[in-house]
Structure 1
Amino acid sequence: MSGSRAEAEEKVGSRQRLQVNEYKENQNIACVSLRPVQTTVLGKTAKVYLVPFSLSNYKPDQLKRPKSLLDKNSNNEVACKKCKKAEIKKTCRRILTPKMEATSSKAESTLQKSSLDVHAESNKRQYKSTSDTVILSADTESSQDGDSDEGTTPGMDDFSGLSPYEKKRLKNISENANFFASLQLSESAARLREMIKKRQPPESKRKKPKKKENGTGCRRSMRLLKVDPSGVSLPATPTQPILVADENPLLPPGPLEMTSENRDDNSELFKGFLQTWAEVSKTRSKNTEKALSSIKSYKANLNGMIISEDTVYKVTKGPIFSVALHPSEIRTLVAAGARSGQVGLWDLTHQPKEDGVYIFQPHSQPVSCLYFSPANPAHLLSLSYDGTLRCGDFSRAVFEEVYRDEGSSFSSFDFLAEDASTLIVGHWDGSMSLVDRRTPGTSCEKLINSSLSKIRTVHVHPVHRQYFITAGLRDIHIYDARCLKPSRSQPLISLTEHTKSIASAYFSPLTGNRVVTTCADCKLRIFDSSCISSKIPLLTTIRHNTITGRWLTRFQAVWDPKQEDCIIVGSMAHPRRVEIFHERGKWVHSFLGGECLASVCSINAMHPTRYILAGGNSSGRIHVFMN
């Protein structure tokens, strides 16, 4: 009793450890390889050996268990081996030898592939049953269905030996195979491939017409064939190089006769114009010790300056690059240098105003700098991009050549000496020239290479004339004329506060204690140059729109010669105006002209002793404010 009770408990425990495998339907597997499953029960390890199996090639005698597994059992398990072995054989024959014959030839291959899963499951169950503690699920199910004879092998059409789950699964597989076979998917796919196949049209190559050997060709020009009407070939004409005319040819060296382009040289008006220069040859000398007027009185005088239609006239052709006012207190004479190389003179005391304008052509390129000589007001010096510096002597009606360098382009100049005997000339390539007018010829005394890559303006200190300031691309340099070297001169002071391109830099006119610079960053800067040392401090920064664009001449802020603590600069504001600022940054005055001032005056100049302001725009027009 105790032995049967222990056997029953062992059987119940083994049934609780039953492993059930689930299968996926409709999964086609051509070849199955299963890994051995190790199950440890009571310290024993069961090894499962799996081999590929196919129902079509199955033979009942092929399935054999390894003897090594049976040899490992203990002596207590010998009694159970025979009965377990008999049960395993019965189960394997029921599961692995079903008599199935495919009713449809199309579903046969599908059933064979799906049977691999059934065989793999049965193999797992069979080889797991070698241990006493492992019982196959098929064995448990077979006890309910009943045992069949061990020697009989059912056919493929007899499903009585299979479990209900396997019967249902095989039935579903067969129905699915028949359903997909009825759909005729392979035939539909073949027809679809034929329908979507692109048919490339045959390439149609254009047949070239055959050339006719004796046919008449197309007509051609006899001129192009260089044949005369009789059929005789014409002689080849010698080819000559085409000379391209220079847009701005250099004028011949030497003095040029002063001939007006808008007047007759023999007219009485032109002769009278030349005679007026004898009256203005002597002017009052500047009184440097004169005290500056107060801002209140200065504003009052500025408020009295007005503009009218009689003080506006087109003097030159093209944009104005430079403006100069004659220091005479008797007559009002304005000079303007244009981009076309013209120099225009306007005598405002002459009426009508058309008769007081005279235009000359001493240069072939823009005139960037104009000054009346401080020693002889009848001399007007002009500098141009074409590499020439000329002096217009109106008493002799001639433009003398002071300095010439065809291999370079000049940008600015100033007088080193008060008698205008020596000059400093700035080049666009960054070099400088010292010119002595007392020596014969037009060659310079010394050519200096500066530390700047480009020089825009040059200005000399009004008191200590050995110092001069140059405006480069981004830096401002102050040099000592006594320490210049031909190779590479180093500046005494460098101002590097500017962030964009610089247009100009000028000393204050009376004492030189201030320096004003104009920069493209929309700022006017004023520096303290009262003590020229290693550093010049920045005093004031004035916000001002200096962006004129490519069609307008760039702004240049200049000092008022009468009031050296005030600067004059053009404006882009509407309505158009010319503004004056104090050195501390305060606004002082704006010159508004209404309809008479409808354009931007980029270049401006103030009379040294009188309250007269002349501004030039980019169309060659001069606007004069005077009281």
Structure 2
Amino acid sequence: MALSHAGTEEPEEPSPRTRQRMQESTPPGTAELQPSPEQAGRRAASARQLRVLLTPLAVAGRRLPQKRLLRAYGGGAGRAAAGKRLCLEPPPARAGPPEPASPPAAPAAGTGPGGAWDAESDGSDAGEAPPDEYSQLSAYERKRLKNITENAKFFAALKLHESAARLHQIATKRQSHVTKRAKPKKAEDETVRRRSMRLQRVEPSGIPMLEMPAQPGAEEQPEVPAGPLPMVPEDQTGNSKLTEDLLATWMRISEIKANGTEKRTCDIKRYQDSLNSMVLSEDNIKKVVKYRVASMAIHPSESIILVAAGDKSGQIGLWNVNCKSEEGAQVFVAHNYVVSCMHFSPFNPAHLLSLSNDTLRCGDVTRAVFDEVCRSEGNLSCFDFLEDNASTAIVGYWDGDVAVVDRRTPGASLELSADIGFRRTRTVHVHPVNKQYFVAAGSVDVCIFDVRYLKAKGNKPVSSLKGHTKSVASAYFSPVTGNRVVTVCADDKLRVYDTTALSPAAAVLSSVSRNNNTGRWLTRFRAIWDPKQEDCFVVGSMAQPRQIEVFQDTGKLLHAFYNLDCLGSVCSINVVHPSKNILVGGNSSGRLHVFKE
């Protein structure tokens, strides 16, 4: 497009293809009329402007390349009109008859409608007569518009928008299903654990059992106050004369000094015969405490069999086995927690010392009171006497420490607290000859310490009993010489160590493989030595039929106490009389079984 020097726009000469179209569209009889050059230029510009108005179609979802159409249709005129506003309105019709257009010339090879050939155009026609409004378009343009129309109809037939909306709705519903539910808030009175109807004391029909109210648990019992407690049975409505008779019997048999050393035997054959002579009968079975037996002690008297048992709720039961009446046992509440250790004083059997988590008490039958020896904020686990007169004791803690208690000191405080490097201390036992040594059993460690060198930190053992791979339940010296230590471990082994020389690493004499897995509801096994026999110990068993086993320190099984009619439970805690052939076993229901001649 050329511009004059005056700045006015000169009409561009129509292209040969435009002149050809104008010649073809001229009616017959008017071809001889030749318009002037100005008229021909105006008609060509009008035709190009008309093409811009007719070409774009409103196709949903698709944008037409308007720049390309303008370049194709406008040619030079489009470049001349750059920077001006494109008028989308058709030009106003001119008054008067239309002037015939001059026949256009043939288009040059390699050029398109606007003077430049479109590389995408194949020059073919659609094969159909175009409508009147498309009469000014080329074959490629008509083909292209037809394809656009057909594609729009095809996509409309597919209904993609409806399908997309339906899929979105389905996805939204699925997402709503997978959303996590908000956890309902627990009610304040809602129990944490589910309880069966049996535990709730409810019949299957849903009617509460009013005639059998549920027994209160250990946590529901009234708290035991600190300080001395009177020896009053738990059942206040019971006959007080029965309690007085029991305490009087305890006081009477404590005045007689028992001598058990003369009846110690060394011959295994005679010892086995004595074990075979001990039997269990129905008369010698009694429920002494309400809950699981955690500790026991037997009075050294040779005339009357008096047994004390402590359970997991803090109760202490006293049973006169020689009393055949139902009132032969009395229960006292002396502690708030499990009674884990009990001993009659070897110097004065009128004293029964019992230990719970927070207190060590001495039951003095002469004053009919449970006195408080010491009280600690920590959790006490076990104790043993350091002297024959039972004036001092070594106490173990569940957190691993040990302490020394002097009963002669006024008050309830500890004399010394020492960290021995244990994570847990389950049992402590003093050497029967050299009272300065004690053995402590912990989580995996079993060590012998010298109480004379105990200090707050940095205590080193005199001897270590190694080889345990799991937690140890107990460790005790042999009763006469202390040359042996028997341990019970959760790795299902009973081990006997040689502690004659107290070397830094004690040697293992024997090892017995057996089932020591008592589980949650049973008290852990404790292997105790028979006070009458230096080289034999007694331990509970998980074997069937239920039994109590006796082993020699060599690992040999000497005897098994059982009774198919009377013994049907595991006796985890056992105690042997120091001078008579009497064995007492306690189970998890608070029942005691007495084997005797």
Secondary structure (helix, strand or coil) at the match of 2:283 reads helix
Residues in 2 aligned to 1:312 and 1:275: alpha-carbon distance in whole angstroms: 23
Per-residue deviation, 1:275: 1.8
Q: Which residue in 2 is equivalent to 1:569?
A: 539
Q: Structure 2: state its 5+ residue gaps.
A: 1-108, 112-121, 129-146, 170-217
Residues in 2 aligned to 1:356 and 1:194: alpha-carbon distance in whole angstroms: 93
1:302 to 275, 283, 286: 275
Q: Which residues of 2 match residues 216-295 of structure 1 at below 5 A? A: 251-262=224-235, 267-281=240-254, 282-287=256-261, 292-295=265-268
Secondary structure (helix, strand or coil) at the match of 2:279 reads coil
2:335 to 363, 370, 379: 363
Secondary structure (helix, strand or coil) at the match of 2:246 reads helix
2:309 to 330, 336, 339: 336
Q: Which amino acid aligns with 2:402?
A: M
Q: Which residue in 2 is equivalent to 1:242?
A: none
Q: Which residues of 2 match residues 455-534 of structure 1 at below 5 A? A: 455-534=425-504
Per-residue deviation, 1:560: 1.2
Residues in 2 aligned to 1:350 and 1:101: alpha-carbon distance in whole angstroms: 127
Q: Which residues of 2 match residues 334-483 of structure 1 at below 5 A? A: 334-352=307-325, 354-385=326-357, 387-405=358-376, 407-483=377-453
Q: Which residue in 1 is equivalent to 2:3?
A: none
Residues in 2 aligned to 1:593 and 1:444: alpha-carbon distance in whole angstroms: 45
For residues 356-414 of structure 1, what are the alpha-carbon distances to aligned partners after superposition, in whole Å with 9 as ceiling and x for unaligned? Answer: 101111111110001010011111110111x1111111122111111112x11110000
Does the 8 Å contact 1:259/1:265 carry over to 2?
no
Residues in 2 aligned to 1:626 and 1:284: alpha-carbon distance in whole angstroms: 18
1:191 to 152, 157, 165: 157
Does the 8 Å contact 2:264/2:579 carry over to 1?
no
Q: 1:621 to 1:529 in 2, by over 3 A?
A: same
Residues in 2 aligned to 1:531 and 1:578: alpha-carbon distance in whole angstroms: 31
Does the 8 Å contact 2:312/2:339 carry over to 1?
yes
Percent identical among aligned pairs is 50
Residues in 2 aligned to 1:315 and 1:246: alpha-carbon distance in whole angstroms: 20
Q: Which residue in 2 is equivalent to 1:315?
A: 288
Residues in 2 aligned to 1:397 and 1:356: alpha-carbon distance in whole angstroms: 18
Q: 1:546 to 1:302 in 2, by over 3 A?
A: same
Does the 8 Å contact 1:451/1:491 carry over to 2?
no
Per-residue deviation, 1:104: 7.5
Q: Which residues of 2 match residues 548-563 of structure 1 at below 5 A? A: 548-563=518-533
Per-residue deviation, 1:326: 1.0
Does the 8 Å contact 1:283/1:329 carry over to 2?
no
Q: Which residue in 2 is equivalent to 1:325?
A: 298
Residues in 2 aligned to 1:563 and 1:369: alpha-carbon distance in whole angstroms: 23
For residues 7-58 of structure 1, what are the alpha-carbon distances to aligned partners after superposition, in whole Å with 9 as ceiling and x for unaligned? Answer: xxxxxxxxxxxxxxxxxxxxxxxxxxxxxxxxxxxxxxxxxxxxxxxxx959
Per-residue deviation, 1:547: 0.8
Q: Which amino acid aligns with 1:191?
A: A
Per-residue deviation, 1:437: 1.5
Q: Which amino acid aligns with 1:399?
A: F
For residues 442-499 of structure 1, what are the alpha-carbon distances to aligned partners after superposition, in whole Å with 9 as ceiling and x for unaligned? Answer: 2222222222122111100001110001111110121101111123322222223111
Q: Which amino acid aligns with 1:327?
A: P
Q: Structure 1: state its 5+ residue gaps.
A: 1-55, 59-99, 107-180, 204-244
Q: Which residues of 2 match residues 34-183 of structure 1 at below 5 A? A: none
Q: Which amino acid aligns with 2:400?
A: G
Residues in 1 aligned to 2:418 and 2:123: alpha-carbon distance in whole angstroms: 114
Q: 1:441 to 1:285 in 2, by over 3 A?
A: farther
For residues 139-165 of structure 1, what are the alpha-carbon distances to aligned partners after superposition, in whole Å with 9 as ceiling and x for unaligned? Answer: xxxxxxxxxxxxxxxxxxxxxxxxxxx
Q: 1:201 to 1:581 in 2, by over 3 A?
A: closer
Per-residue deviation, 1:285: 2.9
Residues in 2 aligned to 1:538 and 1:283: alpha-carbon distance in whole angstroms: 37
1:614 to 584, 587, 591: 584
Q: 1:248 to 1:434 in 2, by over 3 A?
A: farther
1:546 to 516, 536, 556: 516
Per-residue deviation, 1:293: 2.9
Does the 8 Å contact 1:264/1:270 carry over to 2?
no
Q: Which residue in 1 is equivalent to 2:105?
A: none
Residues in 1 aligned to 2:518 and 2:300: alpha-carbon distance in whole angstroms: 30
Does the 8 Å contact 2:466/2:506 carry over to 1?
no
Residues in 2 aligned to 1:202 and 1:412: alpha-carbon distance in whole angstroms: 71
Q: Which amino acid aligns with 1:412?
A: C
Per-residue deviation, 1:198: 3.8
Per-residue deviation, 1:441: 2.3
Q: Which amino acid aligns with 1:371?
A: H
Q: 1:57 to 1:586 in 2, by over 3 A?
A: farther
Count of paired positions: 413
Residues in 2 aligned to 1:369 and 1:495: alpha-carbon distance in whole angstroms: 23
Residues in 1 aligned to 2:381 and 2:475: alpha-carbon distance in whole angstroms: 13
Secondary structure (helix, strand or coil) at the match of 2:393 reads strand
For residues 93-123 of structure 1, what are the alpha-carbon distances to aligned partners after superposition, in whole Å with 9 as ceiling and x for unaligned? Answer: xxxxxxx9979869xxxxxxxxxxxxxxxxx
Q: Which amino acid aligns with 1:455?
A: T
Q: 1:530 to 1:101 in 2, by over 3 A?
A: closer
Secondary structure (helix, strand or coil) at the match of 1:442 reads coil
Does the 8 Å contact 2:250/2:365 carry over to 1?
yes
Per-residue deviation, 1:576: 1.1
Secondary structure (helix, strand or coil) at the match of 1:596 reads coil
Does the 8 Å contact 1:414/1:459 carry over to 2?
yes
Residues in 1 aligned to 2:127 and 2:270: alpha-carbon distance in whole angstroms: 123
Q: Which amino acid aligns with 2:339?
A: V
Q: Which amino acid aligns with 2:261?
A: N
Secondary structure (helix, strand or coil) at the match of 1:307 reads strand
Q: 1:200 to 1:355 in 2, by over 3 A?
A: same
Does the 8 Å contact 1:508/1:514 carry over to 2?
yes
Residues in 2 aligned to 1:403 and 1:285: alpha-carbon distance in whole angstroms: 31
Residues in 1 aligned to 2:164 and 2:356: alpha-carbon distance in whole angstroms: 76
Q: Return 293-302 or 499-508, whichever deviates more.
A: 293-302
Q: Which amino acid aligns with 1:442?
A: A
Q: Which residue in 1 is equivalent to 2:77?
A: none
Q: Which amino acid aligns with 1:620?
A: G
Secondary structure (helix, strand or coil) at the match of 1:456 reads strand
Q: 1:258 to 1:306 in 2, by over 3 A?
A: same
Does the 8 Å contact 1:344/1:360 carry over to 2?
yes
Residues in 2 aligned to 1:403 and 1:300: alpha-carbon distance in whole angstroms: 44
Residues in 2 aligned to 1:201 and 1:369: alpha-carbon distance in whole angstroms: 73
TM-score by length of 1: 0.61
